[in-house]
């Protein structure tokens, strides 16, 4: 879907897509050498050093590239969630936020639901609005509508296939079976759009947290555990692929000259799609051959344990009331920020992640970005993007080799 929707007015190629910009700038700096290569090296060193001290340097680097408004709300959300205990554990908040724990009060979930619903309305409004910048894009409004229709039909078909393969047709009544197919398709579709918008503006996306929200709503509907497990797996699988494809296409868009040659851009994008499909096929084979080894060692993604624990614990009926209540501020923030800033989506994303250091890193990066831009002007923007690419690369490289070192040598 992202291949068909990239460079439309909903997901424009001119959007931030920070990791894509970072990848492209790193490639360009390595190819051109000179001052850009030096700046890239400085960024790599900063990223690696910060990662050594457990600072989330990818968040710091992304702050130099992404949408400032969206990133600011993301940072605020991260800090509120990270320090919710000290901030909201007093008696004044006891009835609203028990123990100062936002997650137990389902505040982040409700805020994301409200912001997500408004974001959907904003997408619909964008589709109905005349495209005044059509000449600057390679995809028309008609192509966007066809992509959305294709995606809707595809998700319904996949939901039906999951229901059949999982034996849900024998476990659910016909009414619940239809409800499962419709809700699973809708949840996957919305999940993809929300994750895509967050990824485009900030470089971070709450894929697994949004999947948890779809799971909680599914529990409130009354789906049995087998259906819930299939539902959350389906939802969680859509968003990351959507976001990563956006980053890849953004990198290609920059390297191909920012769409200066539309035919060359479309052909290059098509080649990237072929490469991604080959990678998906290789990944399927690798997972098929290796999953038993991972499971035997109890190497499961932590979020899967959260999903399983949530299904096992059940959800109280009053959760629906809490979700509806906190959806209101989420909807308001998203509406006030507008579709170009996605402030509600990014604020909710921050609330869903327990990473206060990332919040400080994002806000510090924004302050440095503003000062740097005022000092260096337009030239400073290119410099910041190269340094940011290095910071993100340095963080990734250190994390990878640190993880490998721990695995090989047992260092903790």
User: Token digits for 374?
Assistant: 């005022």
Q: Rounded to an integer, what distance in angstroms lies between the CA atom of residue 412 and that of residue 405?
A: 9
Please check the confidence at residue 135 and state whether its pLDDT lies above 70. Answer: no
- Which is higher by pLDDT, 289 or 407? 289
Please check the confidence at residue 94 and state whether its pLDDT lies above 50. Answer: yes
Please check the confidence at residue 360 and state whether its pLDDT lies above 90. Answer: yes
CB 198 within 8 A of CB 205: yes
Please check the confidence at residue 123 and state whether its pLDDT lies above 70. Answer: yes
- Three-class secondary structure of residue 279 per DSSP: helix
Average pLDDT, the chain: 85
Please check the confidence at residue 132 and state whether its pLDDT lies above 70. Answer: no
Q: Is 370 exposed, middle or buried (0-12, 13-18, 19+ CB in 10 A)?
A: exposed
Helix 207-221, helix 107-128: angle, nearest 10: 100
Please check the confidence at residue 203 and state whether its pLDDT lies above 70. Answer: yes
Confidence bin at 133 (pLDDT 50/70/90):
low
CB 192 within 8 A of CB 206: no
Selection from 137, 135, 75 nearest residue 350 by Cα: 75
pLDDT in tens, 309-355: 888 877 777 888 888 889 999 999 999 988 778 888 889 888 988 88
pLDDT in tens, 239-291: 888 888 889 999 999 999 888 888 899 999 999 999 999 998 999 999 999 88
User: Token digits for 64?
Assistant: 């130099």
pLDDT in tens, 19-66: 888 888 888 888 877 788 888 889 899 999 999 988 889 889 888 887
- Three-class secondary structure of residue 191 per DSSP: helix
Q: Rounded to an integer, what distance in angstroms lies between the CA atom of residue 355 and that of residue 343?
A: 18
pLDDT in tens, 365-388: 999 999 988 887 777 777 888 888
Q: Rounded to an integer, what distance in angstroms lies between the CA atom of residue 34 and that of residue 30?
A: 9
Selection from 54, 71, 51 nearest residue 62 by Cα: 71
Tell me which DSSP letter residue 296 carries: H
pTM: 0.80
Tell me which DSSP letter residue 269 carries: H
Distance spanning both ends of the chain, measured CA to CA: 41
Please check the confidence at residue 412 and state whether its pLDDT lies above 50. Answer: no
């Amino acid at each position: 879907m992202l291949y068909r929707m990239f460079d439309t007015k909903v997901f424009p190629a001119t959007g931030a897509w920070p990791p894509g910009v970072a990848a492209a700038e790193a490639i360009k700096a390595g190819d051109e050498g000179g001052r850009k290569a030096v700046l890239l090296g400085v960024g790599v060193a900063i990223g690696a050093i910060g990662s050594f001290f457990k600072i989330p340097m990818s968040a710091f680097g992304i702050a130099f590239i992404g949408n400032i408004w969206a990133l600011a709300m993301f940072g605020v959300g991260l800090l509120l969630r990270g320090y919710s205990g000290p901030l909201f554990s007093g008696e004044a908040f006891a009835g609203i936020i028990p123990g100062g724990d936002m997650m137990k009060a389902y505040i982040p979930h409700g805020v994301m639901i409200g912001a997500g619903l408004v974001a959907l309305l904003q997408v619909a409004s964008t589709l109905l609005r005349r495209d005044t910048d059509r000449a600057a894009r390679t995809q028309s409004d008609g192509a966007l509508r066809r992509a959305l229709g294709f995606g809707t039909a595809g998700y319904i078909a996949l939901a039906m296939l999951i229901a059949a393969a999982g034996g849900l047709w024998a476990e659910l009544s016909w009414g619940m079976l239809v409800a499962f197919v419709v809700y699973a398709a809708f949840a996957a579709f919305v999940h993809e759009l929300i994750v895509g918008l967050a990824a485009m503006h900030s470089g971070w996306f709450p894929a697994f947290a949004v999947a948890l929200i779809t799971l909680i709503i599914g529990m409130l509907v009354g789906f049995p555990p087998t259906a819930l497990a299939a539902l959350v797996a389906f939802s969680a699988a859509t968003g990351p692929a959507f976001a990563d494809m956006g980053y890849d296409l953004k990198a290609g868009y920059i390297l191909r000259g920012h769409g200066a040659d539309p035919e060359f851009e479309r052909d290059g994008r098509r080649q990237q799609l072929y490469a991604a499909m080959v990678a998906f096929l290789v990944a399927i084979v690798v997972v098929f051959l290796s999953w038993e080894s991972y499971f035997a060692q109890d190497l499961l993604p932590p979020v899967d344990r959260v999903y399983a624990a949530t299904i096992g614990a059940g959800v109280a009926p009053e959760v629906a009331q809490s979700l509806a209540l906190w959806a209101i501020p989420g909807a308001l923030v998203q509406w006030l920020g507008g579709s170009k800033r996605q402030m509600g989506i990014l604020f909710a994303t921050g609330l869903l992640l327990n990473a206060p250091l990332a919040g400080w890193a994002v806000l510090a990066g924004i302050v440095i970005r503003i000062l740097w831009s005022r000092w260096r002007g337009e030239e400073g923007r290119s410099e910041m993007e190269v340094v940011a690419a290095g910071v993100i690369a340095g963080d990734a490289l250190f994390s990878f080799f640190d993880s490998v070192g721990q695995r090989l040598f047992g260092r903790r």
